[in-house]
Structure 1
Amino acid sequence: MKKKSVLLALGVLVLGLGGGALAALPSLPTPSILDVASPNAREISKLFWLVMGFSIFVLAVVVAFMTAGIIGGLRDRNHDEEPPQTHGNLKLEIAWTIIPLIILAILLVPTLSAIYRLEGYAAPEDALEVNVVGRQFWWEMVYPELGIVTANELVAPVGQPVRLNLASGDTMHSFWIPQVAGKTDLIPGNQRAMWFTPEREGVFYGQCAEICGDSHANMRLRLVVLSPQDYEAWVAAAQRPAAPPEDALAQEGAQLFVQKGCINCHAVQGVNAYNRAGPDLSHIGSRTSIAAGMLPNTRENMIRWLRFTDTVKPGVAMPNLGLSQEEAERIAAYLETLTLPEFDLRAAIRGEGPQNHVNASGYPVDEAGSLSETEIASMEGDR
C-alpha cells in the first residue's frame, strides 16, 4: 500500500510539473491545420480528424485489453500456481493482421479522394501568379505579372486563387503554410506548383518543412491576406521605389550600403542595386519581420542582424562584414526609410482604414512567431 501511495504521488507530481511547463509556454500563434483558412486546408483537416478518430478508437481498445490484463494479474498475484502458458494463437494473430488491414483500407478511400480534390485540378485562369524560390534560409517572392519582388512575406487578396510556382535555389526545401495548404517539396532542378484560395484576411505563418541546413528551423515565412482594396493599394505602392532618405543619419547609411558592398547582393528599387543573391530590400522598412521571420522589424533588431548575422542565423550566406556599432546604426537608419510609398502594411493588417495608409514611425511591430529579447541576447552572448 505504501509503495502504491508513493507511485501515485510521483505521478501527480509529474503531471503537475508538465501542466505548469505547458502553461508557462508563450502563447504565440502556431501554424495549425486545425485553424483552416482555405478550402484546401479544410480537406486536409477533415482527413486529419478521420484518422485521429480511428487512432483514438484503436488506442481505447488496446488500453482496455491492457487494463483487463493488469487487473486480472493483480487479482491472481497471491496464487502459488503458475498461470497457464500460451505459445502462439493462430486466431488472434489472424485477427490482429486483418483488422489493421481493414482500417487502412477504409482510410485509403477518403485519402485518395482528398488527394484527387487537392491535386487533380489546375488553378483557375484568374489566379494570382507568384514565383517562389526557396534559398538557405529565406524565401524569394516574385510577382511576374506585376513586376514586384519581395522576400519572406507573401501578400495576397482575400477570395482570389493564388498559384505558386515553386523552385529551389540550392538544396531541398518544403513550402508549408498549414492554414491554407499542405506541404510541397522544392527539389533542385524541378519546377513544382500549388494553389489555394484564402478565405479570410489575416497573417498566416509558414515554415520550411524539409531539413535544409543549420538554420532550417528559422526559415520562416508569412502569408498576409488583405482586403481587395488594401491589396490593390499595396500593389500600387510596391511598384514604386521608396522615397530618398532625408535624414542625415540615413543618408550616411545609404553611402555605407554602397561602400560596404551590400549592393553586390541586394536589390533596391530605384537605386543602382539590382543583384538578387540576397533578399530584395526595396521596401524592407514596411515588412513586419526581418531574417525570414526571426526578428521583429525594429531598428534595434536590424542593427543586431547587421552586426551578428552569422550568430543570429548560423549557416546563412550573408557574410559578417565586421560593421561597427555606428556603421550598423547608419545602415539600419537607411533601411528603415525603404518603405512602401503612402501605404502602411502593418496598419492594413490591423484593419485601420481601407487603403492609402501613410507610414508613421512608432507603430507596434507584429512580434508573433519571432525570437524574444532573451533569445536574441543569448545568441549575442554565445558569440
Structure 2
Amino acid sequence: MIKNRNNLICVDPNKSSAKNTKSSESGYEKNRTHRWAILFLAVVAALFITGCASNAPLDTLDPAGRKSNDINNLINPIFVIAGVVFVFIQGAVLYLGWKFKVREPKDGEESFDGGYPDEEFPEQVHGHFAAEIGWTIGPTILMAAIAIFSVGALLSLDDVDAAPDEAVYPEMEVLVVGQQWWWEYQYYLEGVDGAEQPDFVTANEIVVPVGQDIRIHTTSRDVLHSFWIPRLNGKKDSVPGRTSPWVLQSNEIGRFAGQCTEFCGLSHAYMRMYAVSLSQENFQIWVDNQMRTREPLQEGDENYEGEQVFLLNCARCHIINGVTSRDTSGSVQLDTMALYGNIEEYRNHSDGTLSQGKYTGSANLTAGAAPNLTHFATRSSYAGSFFQLYPDAQEMADAGNYLDLAGSDYARGTLEAWLRNSPKEKPNAQPEQARGMPNLNLSEADIDLLVDYLISLD
C-alpha cells in the first residue's frame, strides 16, 4: 500500500495483481483437484454398479455345480482379501497425500523451494528396518497362502475321474465338438471304451441328469474354441486334433447358459450354448426319445411337403436320422461321418483321436459340418444357441418342464427370418467360406412349409 499527497491510502496495483493471480491459481488447483476426486468416485461407483446385475446368464458368482463351487470357494476369499488390501493401501495413500500435501506458506513463514516450511518437512523412513521387513514379509505370506488354496482348487478341478454312487448311466461320456459357430454333443451311454459309434448326436444344448458327474471330452473340428458353462464349471479349451477330459455336473434342475471363450472367427461372440439339467427320470425319457430315429414321410402325410423342401435344400449339410441316412444300417455315426469326411479316414485316423481310436476332428480351417436336426423341436435354441426357439424356455427348464417345450408356443417369426436370410440374422458367419449357414433363397411358401416340418421334429 502507498499514500498519495492527500494522505489517502491506495493499493499498490502490482502487488494486488500478483495477489489476485496467486489466488486465481490456487482456486484453479483446488477446482482441478475436486474434478479429479469426483471422477475417481464416479469410476468407483460404476465398478460397484457392474456387480449389481440380477439373473445374469453368465454368472460365475452363482455356482450350481461341484466344479463351479470349487472355483467359487477359491475366488470369494481372494476377493475379500484383495478388497481389504485395496482399501488399506488406497486409504493410506489418500491419507498420507492429504496429511503431507504441499501447501502455501502462511504469512510470515519461510519455506524452501519444495513448498514445505522447514519444521514440517515429513520424516523420511528409507532404511527403516522394521518397516521394510514388514512390507516384504507380509505380502509374501499373503501370496503363499493364496497359492496353497489355488493349488488345492486346481487339483480338485483336474480330477475328472469322480463317479456318482447312483446314476441312470454311470459310465456315460459325451464328446463335445466345437466348430464355427456351434457345438455338437455325441453321447456314449456306456462310455467310449469299445464303442463303435455314439448312441445319438445332438447340438447346441448338452443335457445331463441332475447330481451326476458326466465325463466329457472337448475337441474341435476346425479352429480353437473354449467350452464354458460358468454356473457349472470352468473353461476347457477345444483343440483340433486333441481331446481334453472334463467333468460337467449340476446340483440343481434348470438351464444354464454358456459361451465360447476362445476367439474363433468373426462370429465368435454369437457362439453360445446351454447345459440343461433334468431329473433322473426325465433324463431317461429324454434319452429314449433322442435314440428314436425317424421314418420318411409318405405323400399325403402331414408335413410331407415340408420334408421335401428340407431334402432339396437342407440335406446337403444337415442330418435327420432315418430320413437323410447315407447308410442302410441306420448307423448314427455313419450318417454323421458321411457328411464330415471320408469314412475310411475316420476309421483309420491316427491323429486327433481318443485312446479308443475314435475320430475327433482334424485341424481343418472349416468344419464342413452342420447340426443334427433329428429332434430339433426338443431344443430350446438354435443357430449356435443364438436364437431362442421357445420364449418361455428358461422358466420352463428351471421349473423342471424342459421336456414340455415341444408343442408349446414358439417364436415362429424368428425362425422364419433365419430361414429367409440367415447371414443377415447372424452377422459375420461367412457362409461363402463354408462357415455358417448360407442364404438358401427360399420362397415364402417353402419357408412356411419348412418351419412346420422343423417344429414337428420332436
Gapped runs of 5+ residues in structure 1? 340-383
1:124 deviates by 2.4
Instruction: Report the Cα distance in structure 1 between the residues aligned to 2:38 and 2:451, rounded to whole angstroms.
Output: 53
Aligned to 2:152: 113
Residues 57-72 of structure 1 correspond to what in structure 2 (within 5 A)?
A: 57-72=84-99
Contact 2:175 2:186 in 1 (8 A): yes
1:133 matched to 2:186? The reply is no
Residues 190-209 of structure 1 correspond to what in structure 2 (within 5 A)?
A: 190-209=242-261
CA-based RMSD of the aligned residues comes to 3.4
Instruction: Report the Cα distance in structure 1 between the residues aligned to 2:442 and 2:94, rounded to whole angstroms.
Output: 65
Aligned to 2:446: 327
Deviations 1:220-244 (A, max 9, x none): 1111111111111111111113576
SS in 1 for 2:315: helix
1:63 deviates by 1.4
1:100 matched to 2:139? The reply is yes
Aligned to 2:103: 77
1:54 matched to 2:107? The reply is no
Are the structure 2 counterparts of residues 323 and 28 from structure 1 closer, same or farther at C-alpha, using a change threshold of 3 Å? farther
Aligned to 1:30: 57
Contact 2:296 2:322 in 1 (8 A): no
Contact 1:37 1:180 in 2 (8 A): yes
Deviations 1:137-184 (A, max 9, x none): 100011123712110111111122111111111111111111111111
1:286 matched to 2:312? The reply is no
1:43 matched to 2:73? The reply is no
Q: Which moved more, 1:159-168 or 1:245-254?
A: 245-254
Gapped runs of 5+ residues in structure 2? 1-26, 106-110, 165-169, 190-197, 326-334, 341-368, 390-410, 430-434
Are the structure 2 counterparts of residues 323 and 86 from structure 1 closer, same or farther at C-alpha, using a change threshold of 3 Å? farther
Q: 2:416 aligns with which of 303, 310, 320?
A: 303
Deviations 1:280-311 (A, max 9, x none): 00111121111122111132212211222222
Contact 1:245 1:334 in 2 (8 A): no
The code of the aligned residue for 2:378 comes to S
Are the structure 2 counterparts of residues 106 and 323 from structure 1 closer, same or farther at C-alpha, using a change threshold of 3 Å? same
The code of the aligned residue for 1:152 comes to N
SS in 1 for 2:202: strand
Contact 1:242 1:337 in 2 (8 A): no
Aligned to 2:401: none
SS in 1 for 2:413: helix
SS in 1 for 2:303: helix
Q: TM-score, normalised by structure 1?
A: 0.77
Deviations 1:35-67 (A, max 9, x none): 111221111001011210121021011211122
The code of the aligned residue for 1:321 comes to L
1:34 deviates by 1.8
Instruction: Report the Cα distance in structure 2 between the residues aligned to 1:38 and 1:102, rounded to whole angstroms.
Output: 31
Aligned to 2:13: none
Contact 1:130 1:162 in 2 (8 A): yes
Instruction: Report the Cα distance in structure 1 between the residues aligned to 2:446 and 2:64, rounded to whole angstroms.
Output: 43
Are the structure 2 counterparts of residues 244 and 14 from structure 1 closer, same or farther at C-alpha, using a change threshold of 3 Å? farther
Instruction: Report the Cα distance in structure 2 between the residues aligned to 1:43 and 1:325, rounded to whole angstroms.
Output: 51
Instruction: Report the Cα distance in structure 1 between the residues aligned to 2:312 and 2:78, rounded to whole angstroms.
Output: 58
SS in 1 for 2:319: coil
Instruction: Report the Cα distance in structure 2 between the residues aligned to 1:165 and 1:8, rounded to whole angstroms.
Output: 51
Q: Which of 1 and 2 has greater Rg?
A: 2
Contact 2:160 2:247 in 1 (8 A): no
Contact 2:211 2:250 in 1 (8 A): yes
Contact 1:165 1:192 in 2 (8 A): yes
Instruction: Report the Cα distance in structure 1 between the residues aligned to 2:387 and 2:138, rounded to whole angstroms.
Output: 50
Are the structure 2 counterparts of residues 64 and 18 from structure 1 closer, same or farther at C-alpha, using a change threshold of 3 Å? closer
Q: Which moved more, 1:125-134 or 1:238-247?
A: 238-247
Over the matched positions of the two proteins, sequence identity in percent amounts to 32
Number of residue-to-residue matches in the alignment: 335
Contact 1:128 1:160 in 2 (8 A): no
1:251 matched to 2:343? The reply is no
The code of the aligned residue for 1:58 comes to V
Are the structure 2 counterparts of residues 239 and 4 from structure 1 closer, same or farther at C-alpha, using a change threshold of 3 Å? same
Aligned to 1:142: 186
1:129 deviates by 1.0
Are the structure 2 counterparts of residues 267 and 87 from structure 1 closer, same or farther at C-alpha, using a change threshold of 3 Å? farther
Aligned to 1:172: 224
Contact 1:253 1:333 in 2 (8 A): yes
Structure 1 runs of 4+ with >6 Å offset = 85-88, 243-249
Instruction: Report the Cα distance in structure 1 between the residues aligned to 2:443 and 2:133, rounded to whole angstroms.
Output: 72
Residues 347-366 of structure 1 correspond to what in structure 2 (within 5 A)?
A: none
Q: TM-score, normalised by structure 2?
A: 0.65
Are the structure 2 counterparts of residues 303 and 47 from structure 1 closer, same or farther at C-alpha, using a change threshold of 3 Å? same
Are the structure 2 counterparts of residues 149 and 36 from structure 1 closer, same or farther at C-alpha, using a change threshold of 3 Å? same
Are the structure 2 counterparts of residues 310 and 161 from structure 1 closer, same or farther at C-alpha, using a change threshold of 3 Å? same
Contact 1:36 1:42 in 2 (8 A): yes
Are the structure 2 counterparts of residues 67 and 197 from structure 1 closer, same or farther at C-alpha, using a change threshold of 3 Å? same
Contact 1:44 1:114 in 2 (8 A): yes
